[in-house]
Structure 1
Amino acid sequence: MSYLDLQPKFDFQLIGKQVIQTEREGLAELDQYINEDFTKSCEAILNCMGKVIVMGVGKSGHIGRKIAATFASTGTPSFFVHPNEASHGDLGMITSHDIVLAISNSGESDEIKKLIPVLKRKTVQLICITNQPNSSMGKATDIHLCVKVSHEACPLGLAPTASTTAILAMGDALAVALLKARGFTADDFALSHPGGALGRKLLLHVKDIMHTDNEIPRVSYNASLRDALLEITHKKLGLTVICDDSMKIEGIFTDGDLRRIFDLGIDLNNAKISDVMTYGGIRVRPYDLAVNALSIMQSHHITALLVADRDELLGVIHMHDMLRAGVV
């Protein structure tokens, strides 16, 4: 008989909700620690000429890796160094231009404590996050960030749960405050996220995927409707642009327009494209983000846009181009 067989009415949902409530309360307590020490930490990191080296052991180490990754992706150069590896050569990665952000809930991590004299000798500025300002690390640090919770979510009070959540939130608070202080933009963010869907949305411009030159479906103002339909069929973008030899846009005609003119009784064999085209046309610029062009398509319920510099036609971008590029 399993342990659960002995507790047939064990309420997993109740325990889960209790954990969330405990961690929520721990985060509510964190507000008091966003104080002058927080400001000093931000100012020190903002003025740092090197990198922020994050250290921690055990669960604090896992949290430290995430904080370093968040810093690095939001404009604060940073990486994680395990204290044990630092003791065996990786201290060589750290220079006097860097800042060490050391994390220890108790402030008594032996692996970090034994590094402090060496860091002091290298004149490396030290910021420590602990729950005890009077701990060994708290006393030795240049700036101390206190992060303390009333109790852990673990019923034994042993497994770091609410405390690590609070430290992670403090790291996010530092990263975002620094992001805003630097004036970090979406374009800056994109440069550190070139891979995956996020990178494609932030880096890909209309010019990178638009159809140009002979791929553009276009006819002259005096063309027949029949010629326009042949151009739409040949270029397979669901439209044709009406423009002159200098690529000045006169208008646009889409396969949707074709369906609508059937109800108007127009002679398809003898009509001119100028009789049925839509003047103008919705446009984007070549250096607009592809994701913004997608938003325009979705808001207007259309599948293609003209790419232009004022009235000069430069290209056409279609929803299928977005799909192939992974923007959608």
Structure 2
Amino acid sequence: MSLEILTAGPMLTVQDAGRFGLRHMGVSPAGPIDRAAMALANALVGNDPGAAALEFAGPAGRFRCDRPVRFAVAGADCPLRIDARTVSPGESHRLNPGETLTVGVPEGAVWAYLAFSGAIASPEVLGSRATHLRSGVGGRALGAGDRLPLGEDNPEAPCLRPGLRLEAAAPFRETGPIRLILGPQDDHFAPEVIARLTGCDFTVTPQRDRMAMVLGGVELPAERGHDIVSDGTVPGSVQVPGSGTPLVLLAESQTTGGYPKIGTVASVDLARLAQMPVGARFRFALISAREGEDLWIARQARLRRLLEGLVARPEGLLRSDYLLSCDLVGGFYAPGEVVRPVTRPVPEDRP
């Protein structure tokens, strides 16, 4: 049981939740750039949220399976075709042996995720199937002719869609400043430079990959110098090298670095920043570490509600699992009674 890659874009990799507990040995977690998007793609096909799927930037490529599978794309709207038939991202579909799936370029975002039912079952390296491109740990970018094993699947399971309509096949679409926690080396920068974080527009440059993205439009000179004794870094760290041009570390970031870190992008906004297309402009907003933690906890609760609210998608035939997900009656009443409308509570969707 395998997935055959007929053609592949330049940034097609296998990613799962990542490899953790090895930073002290210099091994960064890797894993997806947009964790919520990968979790949604996996859940739509019945996988665990952290199961191995395909991450891509640019066109994903063309694919074929040797068994019936369900697949889903999440993270961004993408052109999807099964042979000549167009299907929608943000919900799951069936791909049968002999059919070819074509996945195009994400629209309005950079990174998207393609999951298959049963999940990709490539060998684990250091406890994870995630690909770290910079080091080669876990493999390499995929290419035409590669075959990936798939795990066991229930062929009778339904295709799924979100209970509430999503925007652009993404679990979250938010606007506003990117929230930032100052430090740990913000004291290397003069107050007027700190003020530029919230008072000036930054630009997303083409210098980006899974390791980091370089920001343009604002220089951040450090009055105490741009060299420090190397210390720990995390995804979201905003390092400022001698050029004064800040860079934001992402999933494949190094575990230590010798440039001062003016701040750390809050986890709740890191994927949103990474998904911004080249040329996008934004500003930072400063928050405390406690506020960042509270925002992340609330975001994870929203994600759980989204994944728990998936429902069966109609597939032409009236399958029992789809009918059971529908309100076919809307209420009962006795003859002669006055019929009053049924009021349903509005689902909560607080940030």
TM-score for the superposition, normalised by structure 1: 0.21
Greater Rg over alpha carbons, structure: 1
Q: Which has more strand, going by share of residues?
A: 2
TM-score for the superposition, normalised by structure 2: 0.20
Q: Which has more helix, going by share of residues?
A: 1
